[in-house]
Amino acid sequence: MAFFALSPRQPLALLSSTDLAVGYERLLTENEQLRRAVASHAVIDQAIGALVVLGRIAPDEAWRALRDVSQRTNTKLRAVAEHILDYAQGGVLPEPQRTELGRAIVRYRRCADAGEGRAAGAKVQPPADQ
């Protein structure tokens, strides 16, 4: 038995049951990818929040720090975010990520401090070397 439906892209074309099954599988795959993306986005947002609190930096700088750690350690952004959330709850942050995160927080905190000093009309002092 053959089932036919009208194609949304080509209104005059009929779709066979095989075409419908292929379309259904494609939609299932796309739905699963979207679910993973939403879950990944939530983890990243939570890690940004943790960096705001732990690093005392603004959300934009926390996002940049998270991205920098990911790029400089060649680790997926979601994995870095998961490690930071684990660290915020008392876990251990892998050494390369911990080092890069410390550098990024210092870097972005200095940028924010320099911006605030300029906004207030004060002279910005160069940061002391560590």
Confidence label for 16 from pLDDT (cuts 50, 70 and 90): confident
- Find, among 100, 103, 97, 68, the residue nearest to 84 by Cα: 97
Here the tokens at position 77 are 């952004």
Confidence label for 17 from pLDDT (cuts 50, 70 and 90): confident
98-107: long-range pairs with CB below 8 Å, 24+: 100/68, 100/69, 100/72, 100/73, 101/51, 101/65, 101/69, 104/64, 104/65, 104/68, 104/69, 105/51, 105/54, 105/55, 105/57, 105/65, 106/130, 107/65, 107/68
Q: Is the pLDDT of residue 38 over 80?
A: yes
Q: Is the pLDDT of residue 76 over 50?
A: yes
Here the tokens at position 75 are 């680790």
CB 69 within 8 A of CB 79: no
What residue has token string 């700088």?
61
Sequence-ordered list of residues with C-beta below 8 angstroms from that of 112, at least 6 positions apart, any chain? 57, 58, 61
